[in-house]
Structure 1
Amino acid sequence: MLDPKKLEEIAKQLSDAVPPGVRNAAEGAETKMKQILQSQLARLDVVTREEFDIQSQVLIRTREKLEAMEERITALEAQLNDN
């Protein structure tokens, strides 16, 4: 679902923001932060970039087909009106 490397990067940035003394006292804080981030992000209704791109392409093709059908209907209606 979400890129684990991005989560690790965010967790590392959060961990780096913690003062050194606190960081040493909180052994495993980066792992815990990563788990919390994964848990919270899993609650969100998000899709991967790949899924988004695929659905965007499907939408583009659907729009193209709809426009073609609208043009055909307009042409058929014009033919009916001419008769």
Structure 2
Amino acid sequence: MINPKKIEEMAKQLSDNIPSGLKQFAGEFEERTKQVLQNQLMKLDLVSREEFEVQQHVLVKTREKLTALQEQVDALEQKLTKPE
């Protein structure tokens, strides 16, 4: 699913860029940022890398079968239209 380490990195980057006068709130800001990022990312319709790769494999197999079937249809059409 969503890599928690990436969310932590993003939150840390945001908190590192807080102006120096607000650094006392950096820890709280970082934690809240992580929560907001996680909540917003969970709302997105995302799939895991593993699921994506499985579906990609299924698509490749389906294309191969479709190509084979198209070749069979073409061969049968040639037989039907070929004068004897």
Q: TM-score w.r.t. structure 1 length? A: 0.86
Deviation at 1:10, TM superposition (A): 0.6
- Structure-2 separation of matches of 1:12 and 1:26: 9
- Structure-2 separation of matches of 1:57 and 1:23: 48
Paired letter, 2:65 = K
Corresponding residue number in structure 2 for 1:39? 39
Question: How many equivalent pairs are there?
Answer: 83
Q: Which stretches in structure 1 are left out of the alignment for 5+ residues? A: none
Report whether the alignment pairs 1:52 with 2:52.
yes
CA offsets 1:1-50 (integer angstroms, 9 cap, x no match): 21111111111111111123312135421111000000111111111222
- Structure-1 separation of matches of 2:27 and 2:15: 11
Corresponding residue number in structure 1 for 2:6? 6
Q: State, as a whole percentage, how many aligned pairs show the same letter.
A: 52
Deviation at 1:65, TM superposition (A): 0.7
8 Å Cα contact 1:12-1:30 kept in structure 2? yes
Q: Which stretches in structure 2 are left out of the alignment for 5+ residues? A: none
Corresponding residue number in structure 1 for 2:15? 15
